[in-house]
Structure formats: structure tokens, C-alpha cells
Amino acid sequence: SPTREFIAGLPKAELHLHLEGTLEPDLKLTLAQRNGIEIPQSTVEEVEASYQFDSLASFLAVYYPAMDVLVTEQDFYDLAHAYLLRAAADGVRHVEMFFDPQAHTVRGVPFADVVGGYHRAAAEAADFGVDAELILCFLRDHSAESAAATLEASAPFKDLILGVGLDSDERDNPPAKFAAVFARARELGYLLTMHCDIDQVGSIENIRQVIEDIGVDRIDHGTNIVENPELVELVRARGLGLTCCPVSNSFVTSDMKSTEIVELLRAGVKVTINSDDPAYFGGYVAANYMALAEHAGLSSAEVVTLAKNSFEASWITDEDKAAYL
């Protein structure tokens, strides 16, 4: 079975990573102090002890309030810079990073400061061998109107953003709610992805909507297609990437879903392995490959396939893909 050194040494792309999910406890405390934000914890141990969740909803209830410590352009830069250094150490050469502007603009943080700080860190990452891009995520538990306004606010920064996604609480917030916003995003030239979270109510119908009605270029999680052979075949035939997150799965469902992920991989679906919210789930990308490989008994060749899939499912040009593969 492949070693950690082997996994970290493989060039990889990371395609499902929330920048706000990389907020480590020590940085949270530093930013709270720097910005004079009162938070309920004062030590790393206390912050870690507050990370109690066993479902997507209970995770999100911890995750969103923590973002209050992010205020200035420099805060967003510091957060992304710290993640990108860790990613480089894990062998990540290309990353497409989600960010949630509405979580900040609702608190009065200017959109330009969020994108500005994140983009400054992304551009600098070239100095240590990481090519970094941004994907703007809409919060699906907010209104379609709020998403539409956020999309229009992004237009001046279009050249700094590769695509749009959809995250937060999937329950009662199906893809169809955002059909018009995503159609407009496509018109503006963005690539499209959406979360289809693990074991959600109506998961299969939501996945069908993202493929057939929205016409996404990738699916985040989407592991539940395994229940539906027709969807598996559709995703395989279209070469749609799935961005799976084993360690995250084990927190929100108490199961890594390794059986399902490996079944899809062996069926020829472009499965990729990612860290989702590593500061909260305690594992960056190499740890996710490692956990899956150990749990499912993957061969080194299968781990190499997962790493190749990560570039194939990425949104870089075919020419750039050829350079990595």
C-alpha cells in the first residue's frame, strides 16, 4: 500500500477546497485579536473543542460564525497564503479554491477586499510552484436574488475568477433554485460546478438537475450517483469529474464512503480526492489520499489514477494538462 511519502510526492490538483475551511485555530485567534472581534474561545484547545459536528448542518453552524474574524484584505491574504504553503508541502501543483463572498459581504466587508486578498495570495503561490485559481460559491440557503446580486458584483473581477459553485445547506435548496443565476454565470463566461452533498434528502434528483438542467462542468461530492446506474453511466460517458472528500465525509456522515468512491473509480468515473475544509476535519489533501488508500486497500497504481484524474477533471487547458500528466 502506498506510503505518505509516495502520495505527497505525486503531483496533484486540488479541486474541492473552501478557503474559509482552512482557518486553523491559531490563525482564528490571531485574527480575532488583530481585529478586536470577541469570540467565545481564547486558546487553540478551546477552539478545537468547539469543533463538534456530526452532520452537514451542525458543521455549518460552527463554520459560518467562525468567519467573523476575517475582516481586512490582509486577513484574506493571510488565510489563503497559509493554505497554499500547506498545499505545496502536500504535492499540490494546481488548485481551484472555493470562497464564499456572501459570508463576508453581509457583514459589510467589501467584495473587492475578499477577492483582492485571496487573489494576491494565489498569484504569489507561483513563487513556490502552485498554480492557484478561484471559484466563487453562492450560499444556497440565501435567496436566488442575493446570488444574482453577488454574481453582478463579481463582474469587474471576472478575470480573477475561473468559475462559480454552490455550497452551504442543501436541504430545501435544490439546484433548480439557482438555474437562472447559473445560466447568467455561463453567459458571463464562468465555468460551473455545484455541491451535491453526501446522503442528502433528494440527492439523486438534485444530481440529475445539476447535470441535465444546470449543465455543470463538474460535481462537488456527488458520490450518491453510486445508487443509480444510469447516472453513473451518464457521468462516466460525459467525463464529468466528481470531487470526493473522504475525511470530510467521515465527519458529516460518520462514514468515509470509501466503498462508494472506489466503486465509482473502478467504474471509470473521473473521481478526485480533496480536503474540503481541512482545518475543521483535520486532514489536508495528502491525508485524504492516505485515509482512502489505507481504508480501501488501494494499489499504488490506483492512487496514481486518482492524481491523474485531479488534473483531467481540473479547468486548466488541455495543453497545461499534458504538462502535468
Q: Which residues are annotated as a binding site for substrate?
A: 277
Between CA 139 and CA 235 the distance in angstroms is 25
Q: Which residues pair with 133 in a beta bridge?
A: 96
Between CA 96 and CA 10 the distance in angstroms is 18
Least gap, CB of 102 to ligand HPA (angstroms): 12
Indicate whether 14 belongs to the interface with Zn ion (CB under 5 A). no
Q: Which is nearer to Zn ion, 2 or 21 (CB)?
A: 21
Q: Select the residue interacting with ligand HPA from 7, 10, 18, 130 (CB under 6 A).
A: 18
Least gap, CB of 307 to ligand HPA (angstroms): 21
Between CA 100 and CA 165 the distance in angstroms is 9
Indicate whether 78 belongs to the interface with Zn ion (CB under 5 A). no
Residue showing the smallest CB distance to ligand HPA in the complex: 167
Residue 139 CB-half CA count within 13 A = 16
- Number of other CB atoms surrounding residue 187 within 10 Å: 8
Residues 6+ apart with CB under 8 A from 288: 245, 246, 247, 273, 274, 275
Select from Zn ion, ligand HPA, none the partner in contact with residue 168, using the beta carbon and a kind-dependent cut-off of 5 to 8 Å.
ligand HPA
Indicate whether 243 belongs to the interface with ligand HPA (CB under 6 A). no
Select from ligand HPA, Zn ion, none the partner in contact with residue 173, using the beta carbon and a kind-dependent cut-off of 5 to 8 Å.
none
Between CA 323 and CA 325 the distance in angstroms is 6
Least gap, CB of 277 to Zn ion (angstroms): 7
Indicate whether 257 belongs to the interface with ligand HPA (CB under 6 A). no
Q: List, as residue ranges, the binding site.
A: 16, 18, 195, 276-277
Q: Select the residue interacting with Zn ion from 276, 280, 286, 289 (CB under 5 A).
A: 276
Measured CA to CA in angstroms, residue 295 lies from 1, 137, 221 at distances of 10, 31, 18
Binding region for ligand HPA (CB under 6 A): 18, 21, 56, 167-168, 195, 197, 248, 276-277
Binding region for Zn ion (CB under 5 A): 276
